[in-house]
Every structure is written in C-alpha cells, then in structure tokens.
C-alpha cells in the first residue's frame, strides 16, 4: 500500500459536530449568537476525507460566508492535520462558513443558525434607508427629502448590539420625537415583532432629526 495522497482541502467542523477521518462530519451544528465568539475545528483532508496527519505548523486561514459579515483572515496552528480557530459572526442568519489556506481549498460547512443577541437599542430608519444587520452602521441608503405638511413614515426596530432585529423585544410603548418644534408627532405605540412604523408630519423647512 502506497502513501496516502496529500491533503488538498480544509473541512470545517462546527460546534455540535464531530469529524471522523474518512467519513467527514456527523451531528447537528449548535446555533450560535450574533457577536459571541465560538470555536471551529479545521481538518486538512484529501479527496477521500482522510486526515492528513502530516499537515502542521501555522497557516494563514481566510474565512468567508454568504452574509459577508464574518470575512477575515487569521493565523491557524495545525497539529497532526487539525487545528482550532475562533470566529465571531455578527449577522443573525442561516449561513455557512468556508475556510481556505494558501495551499488548500475550502469546503463549505453545514448550515449554521446565528440568532440575534439581546435587545439593546432602538434603530430608526427614515425613507430611503434600509436595515443592514451585522454592519457597522446597521443601515444603508440616504434619507430622502420630505415636504412640509406632508406625512411620511419612519420605521423603529428593536435591535441587538450588531443591529439584528430582535423580534422578541418587550412591547413597551415607544415615544417618537423630532427636532421640529411645530410638527405633528405620532402617538406612543408598542412594537410588534420588534418593529413598528410611525407617521410624522413636518411643519418647518430645514434639516430634521
């Protein structure tokens, strides 16, 4: 029997899963919380999913996923073909993680559920803005100009520290105020599923917050 073919791929084993050489991963990934670090196990394997026990040393590992919020590069140390690495996902979603080293291609992980963290703040979206959970500002777009004495809606979202919608946030009354001393502001209202639209009618021309 000749030597095993060298490894060409990196397999990602998520929390809740077990990797077996020659078979791959078994088990169901454990859901994670946005913004909370967790540990991946990386295994160098050949095309038959057999662990390359000779793969060792420190490797530069790149991580990627469909959400884009956890793309970064780090150093991973391998012993006997396996190594652990910590990652933090900021966007609440169902996603996969792919890792790759300079000499190995990545294989997408099993699907992983990332849940929002605890409700910490309220987000206001003006017309023209769209929520972008997991990003630094939590939104994209530019507020559009509005007209005096014409009603428009803003959306208030209950979010976690990374701007993920928290649908289970308490239904406390939300009070909306603006910088316009003469406008018509909405009555207090509760959130439903972590969100609520409020109608505003500005009375003074200028910049409004």
Residues 177-190 have pLDDT tens digits of 999 999 989 999 99
Residue 143 vs residues 30, 139, 201: alpha-carbon distances, Å: 39, 11, 15
Query: What's the mean pLDDT in 117-137?
Result: 96
pLDDT, greater one: 153 or 74: 153
Label residue 41 exposed, middle or buried (CB < 10 Å: 0-12, 13-18, 19+): middle
Decide if pLDDT at 2 tops 70: no
How far apart, in whole angstroms, are the C-alpha atoms of residue 51 and residue 39? 19
Label residue 64 exposed, middle or buried (CB < 10 Å: 0-12, 13-18, 19+): middle
Q: What is the pLDDT of residue 60?
A: 79
Query: What's the mean pLDDT in 123-137?
Result: 95
Listed residue (142, 145, 157) closest to 195, CA to CA: 157
Label residue 149 exposed, middle or buried (CB < 10 Å: 0-12, 13-18, 19+): exposed
pTM above 0.85, yes or no: yes
Q: What is the pLDDT of residue 58?
A: 81
Q: What is the pLDDT of residue 100?
A: 81
Residue 202 vs residues 42, 143, 170, 176, 196: alpha-carbon distances, Å: 56, 15, 29, 13, 19
Q: What is the pLDDT of residue 32?
A: 95
Q: Which ranges of 21-153 would DSSP assign to H, the alpha helix?
A: none
Q: Which of 17-31, 32-46, 52-66, 165-179 has the highest mean pLDDT?
A: 17-31
Q: What is the pLDDT of residue 69?
A: 43
pLDDT, greater one: 74 or 119: 119
- What is the maximal distance between C-alpha atoms in the chain? 86
Q: What is the mean pLDDT of the chain?
A: 90
Decide if pLDDT at 75 tops 80: no
- Order of all β-strands in the sheet with 57-64: 72-78, 57-64, 98-100
């Amino acid at each position: 029997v000749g030597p095993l073919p060298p490894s060409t791929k990196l397999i990602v084993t998520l929390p809740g899963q077990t990797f077996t050489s020659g078979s791959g991963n078994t088990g169901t990934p454990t859901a994670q919380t946005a913004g909370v670090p967790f540990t991946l196990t990386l295994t160098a394997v050949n095309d038959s999913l057999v662990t390359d026990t000779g793969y060792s040393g420190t490797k530069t590992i790149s991580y990627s996923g469909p959400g884009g919020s956890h793309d970064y590069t780090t150093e991973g140390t391998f012993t006997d073909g396996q190594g652990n690495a910590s990652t933090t996902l900021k966007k609440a979603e169902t996603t996969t993680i792919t890792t790759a080293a300079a000499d190995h291609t990545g294989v997408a992980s099993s699907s992983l559920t990332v849940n929002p963290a605890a409700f910490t703040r309220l987000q206001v979206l003006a017309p023209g803005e769209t929520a972008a959970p997991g990003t630094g500002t939590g939104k994209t777009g530019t507020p559009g100009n509005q007209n005096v004495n014409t009603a428009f809606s803003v959306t208030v979202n209950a979010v976690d520290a990374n701007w993920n919608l928290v649908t289970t946030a308490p239904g406390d009354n939300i009070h909306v105020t603006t910088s316009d001393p003469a406008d018509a502001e909405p009555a207090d209202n509760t959130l439903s599923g972590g969100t609520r639209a409020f109608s505003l009618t500005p009375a003074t021309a200028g910049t409004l917050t």
